[in-house]
């Protein structure tokens, strides 16, 4: 069974109605790593619905969390706002300064600023969760019952956390963090409690009270998480391996949830997504590739397939270069196969059947629209990348595909992929090994690097290419003919050809590239290179 179906089966054992939760603190730009959590939740919901369960996806916006530091993308003005809740401070403007005007006139907060583009990306990728802003939940009193229970029995909460986590809490620890006189959660000491008021003294020496029924503060994370499981009715939640570690916040959360009077959700721990060569993605350090940025490069089904086709306990290395090309081509290959027909083969081994069944489910989950399978385009990403670099106009790309792929009319999907492919090629993410630059004039430097005995290949090349059809197969045959005529090995022939056509020692496969270039221009280039070599004075 696919991992999403396994989760659906676990939920069915628990009951008929389910709320699957995901949640993120909007402290900085969202990245591909964040997509793993919410797409995992989305896929669990789809699997649960397929199994006949009632399931809904919610997204908890942890905007009651404080600004923890001045990140590199913020101005020093934010030093005064450290410790303030993300939903109650202004968003940064284009220069990283707090945009007080928009905050006061529109209520546009720091949390809104970073959440909005993520929601745009989710809409493109087929995920539309119900939003649950945490700050509003505090202010409307939804946390009040759990908070009262915790504040009434702080010793019981302390015992659970210390026993399960193995760490000792400070003597002045209290299960409520009041807002201080300036609106910060930092540096506040609790001096007393009389429901519903928590008495405090802040770092400025000012004393005051915090009303827990009005959300004038918040619960520490290890209490905040299990509390919202309860009033939101959460029955399932995927989360990162840090929360799922032994003694981590899920382990303490399970016991605290039962202390609050409800059952913890069914968990699913997932591994991180890292950026190839740069380690784990982090909004605070800027080591990210954002969802919107990624969706400018590849269609949404490719990103969904990345998550659907990876078991949650498997780490993912996101590679915007060749790794993404390989992923996209893998998706295209599988999409073009009739898996239902293949599964009807009774001679399949168990391993083969499991692979086909898992891939079939992954492909279904890759579609942004439930029930709408993504159709194969029959054009690999590699070939589309080649054409997009050689053909400057889209109509030229379609003309080439009409000849090579019997394409009568480009589909909406192909138009979309070509647009994103051109964005990818123009970005720094496009792999260098796939970059194509066909010469218009000879490269003196590349030709000068050739050995004298190899130069005769150029003279044989024009005749060989002239005698073959201008196709992949014809050009490959011409290279072999040039090798025979010049009594030169194929390896050296290709070295000469790359020098002539691309001005370098090696590159992508030449035949498909040349087949999509103008024949006359390429033959003229060979002649020009031959003339240049003949004019070159003998060395020594």
* 207 vs 188: CA distance, rounded Å: 9
Report the greatest alpha carbon distance in the chain: 99
CB atoms within 10 A of CB 533: 19
Extract the tokens encoding 486.
């010049």
CA distances to 193, 215, 219 from 179, rounded to whole Å, are 15, 9, 11
Tell me what pLDDT residue 282 has.
58
Instruction: Look at residue 171 in the predicted model and tell me its pLDDT.
Output: 92
Angle between helix 249-260 and helix 221-232 axes, rounded to 10 deg: 50
DSSP assignments along 372-424, one per residue: -PPPP-S--HHHHHHHHHH-SSHHHHHHHHHHHH--SS--HHHHHHHHHHHHH
> Can you give the pLDDT at residue 540?
41
Q: Identify the structural domains of the chain with CATH numbers, from first to last.
A: 3-143+220-270 (3.40.50.620), 381-434 (no CATH), 444-535 (1.10.10.350)
Residues 495-537: pLDDT tens digits?
999 999 999 988 888 999 999 999 999 999 999 998 888 765 5
End-to-end CA distance of the chain: 71
pLDDT digits (tens, 9 = 90+) for 386-435: 999 999 899 999 998 988 877 778 888 899 999 999 999 999 888 888 89
pLDDT of residue 283: 55
Q: What is the pLDDT of residue 479?
A: 96
Handedness of CA 404, 409, 411, 417 (dihedral sign): positive
Residue 277: predicted pLDDT: 64
Residues in the chain: 540
Q: What is the pLDDT of residue 404?
A: 80
Q: Which stretches in the chain have pLDDT values below 70?
A: 277-288, 535-540
pLDDT, residue 32, reads 84
pLDDT in tens, 361-394: 999 999 999 877 777 777 888 889 999 999 989 9
- Give the pTM: 0.89
How far is residue 501's CA from residue 479's CA, in Å, rounded to a whole number? 13
């Amino acid at each position: 069974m696919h991992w999403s179906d396994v989760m659906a089966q676990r939920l069915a054992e628990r009951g008929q109605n389910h709320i699957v939760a995901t949640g993120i603190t909007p402290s900085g730009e969202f990245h591909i790593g964040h997509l793993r959590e919410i797409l995992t939740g989305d896929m669990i919901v789809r699997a649960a619905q397929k199994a006949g369960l009632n399931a809904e996806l919610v997204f908890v916006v942890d905007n009651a969390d404080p600004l923890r530091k001045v990140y590199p993308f913020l101005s020093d003005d934010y030093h005064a706002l450290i410790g303030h809740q993300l939903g109650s401070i202004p968003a940064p403007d284009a220069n990283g300064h707090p945009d007080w005007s928009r905050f006061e006139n529109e209520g546009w907060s720091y949390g809104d600023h970073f959440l909005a583009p993520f929601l745009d990306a989710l809409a493109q990728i087929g995920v539309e969760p119900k939003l649950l802003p945490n700050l509003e939940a505090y202010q409307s009193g939804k946390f009040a019952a759990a908070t009262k229970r915790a504040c009434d029995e702080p010793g019981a909460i302390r015992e659970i956390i210390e026993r399960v986590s193995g760490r000792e809490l400070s003597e002045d620890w209290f299960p409520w963090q009041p807002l201080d006189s300036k609106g910060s959660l930092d540096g506040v000491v609790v001096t007393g409690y009389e429901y519903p008021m928590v008495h405090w003294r802040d770092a400025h020496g000012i004393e005051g009270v915090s009303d827990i029924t009005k959300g004038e503060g918040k619960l520490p994370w290890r209490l905040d998480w299990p509390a919202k499981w309860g009033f939101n009715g959460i029955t399932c939640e995927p989360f990162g391996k840090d929360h799922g570690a032994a003694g981590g916040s899920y382990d303490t959360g399970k016991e605290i949830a039962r202390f609050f009077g409800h059952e913890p959700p069914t968990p699913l721990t997932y591994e991180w997504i890292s950026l190839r060569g740069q380690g784990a993605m982090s909004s605070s350090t800027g080591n990210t590739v954002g969802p919107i940025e990624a969706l400018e490069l590849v269609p949404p089904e490719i990103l969904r397939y990345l998550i659907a086709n990876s078991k949650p306990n498997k780490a993912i290395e996101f590679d915007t270069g060749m790794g993404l090309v390989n992923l996209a081509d893998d998706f295209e290959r599988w999409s073009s196969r009739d898996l239902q027909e293949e599964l009807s083969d009774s001679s399949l081994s168990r391993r083969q059947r499991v692979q086909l069944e898992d891939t079939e489910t992954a492909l279904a989950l890759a579609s942004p629209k439930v029930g709408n399978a993504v159709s194969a385009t029959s054009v690999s990403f590699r070939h589309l990348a080649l054409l997009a670099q050689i053909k400057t106009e889209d109509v030229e790309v379609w003309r080439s595909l009409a000849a090579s792929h019997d394409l009568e009319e480009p589909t909406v999907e192909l138009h979309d992929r070509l647009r994103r492919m051109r964005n990818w090629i123009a970005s720094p993410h496009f792999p260098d090994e796939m970059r194509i630059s066909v010469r218009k004039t000879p490269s003196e430097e590349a030709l000068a690097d050739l050995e004298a005995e190899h130069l005769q290949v150029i003279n044989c090349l024009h005749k060989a290419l002239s005698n073959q059809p201008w196709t992949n197969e014809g050009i490959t045959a011409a290279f072999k003919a040039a090798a025979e005529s010049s009594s030169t090995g194929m390896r050296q022939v290709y070295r000469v050809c790359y020098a002539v056509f691309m001005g370098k020692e090696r590159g992508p496969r030449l035949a498909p590239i040349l087949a999509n270039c103008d024949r006359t221009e390429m033959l003229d280039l060979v002649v020009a290179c031959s003339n240049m070599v003949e004019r070159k004075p003998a060395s020594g």
